[in-house]
Chain A
C-alpha cells in the first residue's frame, strides 16, 4: 500500500470524470429524477415512505456496480492496467483509488437525491441523516466492489453490461422491497439471507425508522462492510500481473 499512489489514482479517476460531463450529469441527476417519478407514481405519502428508503439504498448500489465493471474492463482492454502492473502500483492501491473516487461520487449522488427526497418529496425519517448517508455510501461501495469482481469475468462490454441484470436483479427481487423476506418460501428466504443487498436494504430501512443504533443495524453494517471487503479481495485476486 502506498498512499501517494492511491491518492494519485483517485485524482486521475476524478479527472477522467471531469472530462466526461454527460456521465457526471447522469450520475447525479438520474436517481433524483427516478425518485420524483416514484413519489408521483404512488401518489401516496404512506406507500412512498415505506418504499423510498429501500430504493435509496438500491440506486447507489446499482450505479456504482455498473460504473466500476465498465471502468475496470476499460483498464483491462486498453492496456493501461497492464502498464500499471509493470509499475510500482499495488493492486490495493488501484482498488482503493477507485473506491475513494467512486465513494466521493456516491456521496454527492446520495446527498442530492436525499435532499430532494427529504424536502420536496416529504419523506419522513426519524433516524439520523448522518447515519443514513453512511449506509447509502456503504451500499455504493458494496456495489462497486461487486462490480469490480464480476468485471474480471467479462471479456467484452456486452458481457459486462449483462452482469448487471444477472447479478443485481435477483438481489433486487429478493431483497425484501417487493415482498417481506420472511413471507417468501423457505428456499428463497434462505437465498435472500446470503445475498448482500438484503442487508443493505434492511439497514436503510432501520436507519429511517429509528435513531437507535440497534444490534440488528450493527449486524447489517458488518455484513455489508464484510461483503464489500471480501469482494474487493476477490477482485484484487483477479488483477494479474502476468497474463497468458
Chain B
C-alpha cells in the first residue's frame, strides 16, 4: 500500500496545557521531498512534528504517515525523529549511544560509524555525549535519527547553533537524502534556511499561513526576501480575518 503522499494531515487539532495550539491544520507532504516548517517560536511547529511521529495526544483530526495512522507500530523502524533538545545519554560515549540505538532499531552494527561520519562527528566517538560542545551534542542527537536509514526524517531545529560551514554540510546531507528517496520535514525559525527547502509550510499561532514553494511565495508576495514574504502573509491574513 503506497499512497502518493508521505504525510497527510487532515483537520489536526491539538490541545496542550488547556490551550488549543493547533487549530484544524491540513496539508500533504509528497514523498522524497524536503519541506521546511517555518515560523516563530511557539507557533506549534514542535507540536505538529510530535503529532507526525505519533507521540502527541491529539484532540481531533487525522495524521497519516507512509500510509499508516501516525504512531502505528509498523512505522517505528521507518521514521527518524530528532527533538530540539538533544535526546542522547550524556554519560555514554558517542559510539556507545549510536550502538545502543542501532541495536534497538535492529540496524546493522556498522550503521553506528556511518551516522557519526555523516554528521561530521568523526573523532569524537570515544567522548561522552555530555562533554561535547552544544553543536556537536545536537548533531549526535541528529545522528541517532539517521540510524537504520528511515524513509521519513522529522527534524526539529537540527541546525541551531551550528557554524555556517557545518550548516552548509548538513543541508548538503539533507539534499543527498532526498535524492535517495527520503522524505524530510525540517523545522526552523531562521528564514534564510527556508530558501533551501523545496516546499515551505509557514506557520503562525497554530495556523498554516502558506504552503508553497519558496519561488511561488516570493512571486505571490512580490518580494525576494522570505522574511518580508512572511510579514506580508501575516498582514494579508490580518486584513482578511480581523
A residues lining the B interface (CB < 8 Å): 4-5, 8-9, 11-12, 15-16, 19-20, 78-80, 82-89, 241-244
Q: Given contacts A79-B83, A82-B83, A88-B77, is CB(A12)–CB(B54) below 8 Å?
A: no
Q: Helix, strand, loop or mixed for chain A's interface?
A: helix
Tell me the minimal C-beta distance from A21 to chain B in angstroms.
11
Q: Given contacts A16-B91, A241-B71, is CB(A79)–CB(B104) below 8 Å?
A: no
Q: Given contacts A78-B90, A86-B53, A242-B54, is CB(A12)–CB(B100) below 8 Å?
A: yes
Q: Given contacts A89-B104, A241-B71, is CB(A80)–CB(B87) below 8 Å?
A: yes
Interface 0/1 of B67-87, CB less than 8 Å to A:
000010100110101010111
Give 10 A-B pairs besides A8-B103, A12-B89, A78-B89 with Cβ atoms closer than 8 angstroms.
A15-B96, A79-B86, A82-B87, A83-B101, A84-B104, A241-B54, A241-B55, A242-B54, A242-B71, A244-B16
Interface 0/1 of B18-37, CB less than 8 Å to A:
00000000000000000000
> Is A88 a contact of B96 with CB atoms below 8 Å?
no
Q: Does B210 contact A (CB under 8 A)?
A: no
Q: Does B231 contact A (CB under 8 A)?
A: no
Complex alpha-carbon distance, A135 and B37, angstroms: 55
> Is A243 a contact of B57 with CB atoms below 8 Å?
yes
Tell me which of A15, A86, A89 contacts B55 (CB under 8 A): A86
B residues lining the A interface (CB < 8 Å): 15-17, 53-57, 71, 73, 76-77, 79, 81, 83, 85-93, 96, 100-101, 103-106, 128, 144
Tell me which of B81, B89, B103, B128 contacts A80 (CB under 8 A): B89
Tell me the minimal C-beta distance from B81 to chain A in angstroms.
5
Tell me the minimal C-beta distance from A6 to chain B in angstroms.
10
Complex alpha-carbon distance, A11 and B73, angstroms: 24
> Is B101 a contact of A87 with CB atoms below 8 Å?
yes
What is the count of residue pairs linking A and B with beta-carbon distances less than 8 angstroms? 79
> Is B89 a contact of A20 with CB atoms below 8 Å?
no
Q: Given contacts A83-B81, A242-B55, is CB(A4)–CB(B103) below 8 Å?
A: yes
> Is B103 a contact of A244 with CB atoms below 8 Å?
no
Chain A residue at minimum C-beta to C-beta distance from B128: A19
Tell me the minimal C-beta distance from B56 to chain A in angstroms.
6
> Is B105 a contact of A87 with CB atoms below 8 Å?
yes
Chain B residues whose CB sits within 8 angstroms of the CB of A85 once the complex forms: 55
Chain B residues whose CB sits within 8 angstroms of the CB of A87 once the complex forms: 76-77, 101, 104-105
> Is B83 a contact of A15 with CB atoms below 8 Å?
no
Chain A residue at minimum C-beta to C-beta distance from B103: A8
Chain A residue at minimum C-beta to C-beta distance from B85: A79
Tell me the minimal C-beta distance from B196 to chain A in angstroms.
25
> Is B92 a contact of A16 with CB atoms below 8 Å?
yes
Complex alpha-carbon distance, A20 and B91, angstroms: 8
The 8 closest A-B pairs by CB, nearest first: A79-B87, A8-B103, A12-B100, A83-B87, A88-B76, A16-B91, A242-B57, A19-B91
Complex alpha-carbon distance, A4 and B106, angstroms: 9
Q: Given contacts A5-B103, A88-B104, is CB(A83)–CB(B96) below 8 Å?
A: no
Would you give 9 A-B contacts (Cβ < 8 Å), ordered by A?
A: A12-B96, A12-B100, A16-B89, A16-B91, A82-B87, A86-B79, A87-B76, A87-B105, A242-B55
Chain A residue at minimum C-beta to C-beta distance from B75: A86
Chain A residues whose CB sits within 8 angstroms of the CB of B81 once the complex forms: 83, 86
> Is A244 a contact of B57 with CB atoms below 8 Å?
yes
Tell me the minimal C-beta distance from A136 to chain B in angstroms.
27
- In this complex, the member of B73, B76, B87, B92 whose beta carbon has the largest number of chain A beta carbons within 10 angstroms is B87
Chain A residues whose CB sits within 8 angstroms of the CB of B103 once the complex forms: 4-5, 8
Chain A residues whose CB sits within 8 angstroms of the CB of B86 once the complex forms: 79
Chain A residues whose CB sits within 8 angstroms of the CB of B96 once the complex forms: 12, 15
Tell me the minimal C-beta distance from A14 to chain B in angstroms.
11
Complex alpha-carbon distance, A243 and B17, angstroms: 11
Chain A residue at minimum C-beta to C-beta distance from B100: A12
